[in-house]
Amino acid sequence: MKRVVVALGGNAILESDPTAAAQQKIVQETAESLAALLTDEMELVIVHGNGPQVGNLMLQQAASDSVENPAMPLDTCVAMTEGSIGYWLVNALTNALEKRKITRDVAAIVTQVEVSQNDEGFVHPSKPIGPFFSESKAQELMEMTGALYMEDAGRGFRKVVPSPRPIAIKESKTIQLLLENGVVTVAGGGGGIPVVQSGGGLQGIEAVIDKDLAAEKLAELIEADTLIILTGVTNVFVHYNQPNQKALETVSISEIEHYIKEGQFAPGSMLPKVEAAVQFAKRRPTNKAVITSLENLKNLGKGEQGTVVVQKEQMAIR
């Protein structure tokens, strides 16, 4: 079986209308693309983002915070959105597969992802969550709440929170069992629920794990063959939005690491995707990491593969 992990961005679920109906409609369209990707020989895991959703939920929590109805902490909000988006994806994928007469079960699993309490991500928050704001509104919110807001890829300002790197995924063996039994699995939603080891065992912590790095860690632990990271563009670009902009196609690890050192990719945006792709490609010579758009998913394997990261010795084969 070809084992594939697909990382789906939270912004691919929420565009401008944050209602449940609007998000479910986008999820249904996404599920159609994922169902078209699935083959009889494929074992498929879907890891979804939740940046816009968990940010909106935190705003709702803050607005209704009271002694009688206290706001939930960030790790719990991650779990809540992992459950709701997981439900939407399972429902939509089940319907999409049934339309294609594909008999496969679909399940979502609440996933705890272990991080280190000493991770530098807690010192330098970098993960954007929630809606976009103008610079003036972001400044106002920073003064009111003490939270940090930063520009996100030229699209506006968003709240940023600690984003520690994943070191273990507690449910990885369970996920592997589901795959071995033919279950299309939704896991690691929002990068997973961040937990740390302490004297009292596992405990949740205030953070958001990058879902692309969590998808890469999961792909490593379940020995996946391909990691597909979906984003808003068909290819990764260097010199982005400049006159000498260049789309990357099949690239070696050494080449893309050179671009990382040049600072070609935005932290909290494209950089984690590229770093995840590089990490996965390094695991085994046969591993392949693809970064592309949801719209291009149907073209994979047809010569239009987006940006493909491989080990140097694999370049000649391609």
- Output the six-digit token pair for 66: 């009271």
10 labelled catalytic: yes
Q: How far is CA 172 from CA 45, 61, 158, 301, in A?
A: 11, 30, 31, 28
The contacts of residue 42 (CB under 8 Å, 6+ apart) are 1, 2, 3, 4
- Which tokens sit at 173? 């063996």
Q: Is 192 a catalytic residue?
A: no
Return the closest-CA partner of residue 219 out of 51, 44, 56, 93.
44
Length of the chain: 318
Task: Give the CA angle between residues 284, 192, 132 to the nearest 5°.
Answer: 110
Nearest-CA neighbor of 110 among 84, 75, 79? 79
In the chain, what is the straight-line distance between the N-terminal and C-terminal CA atoms, in Å? 21
121 has catalytic annotation: no
Catalytic residue among 190, 192, 211, 288: 211
Active site annotation includes 273: yes
Q: Please tell me the distance from the alpha carbon of residue 37 to that of residue 299, in angstroms, as a whole number.
A: 9
Of 55, 56, 86, 127, the catalytic one is 127
Report whether 108 contacts 92 (CB < 8 A).
no
Residue 11 designated active-site: yes
Count how many Cα atoms sit within 13 Å of the Cα of residue 47 in the half-sphere of its side chain: 31
Nearest CA-CA partner of 129 in 62, 39, 190 = 190
Which residue among 189, 192, 235, 273 is the active-site one? 273
Pick the catalytic residue: 9, 10, 55, 86?
10
- Give me the active site residues, please: 10-11, 127, 211, 273
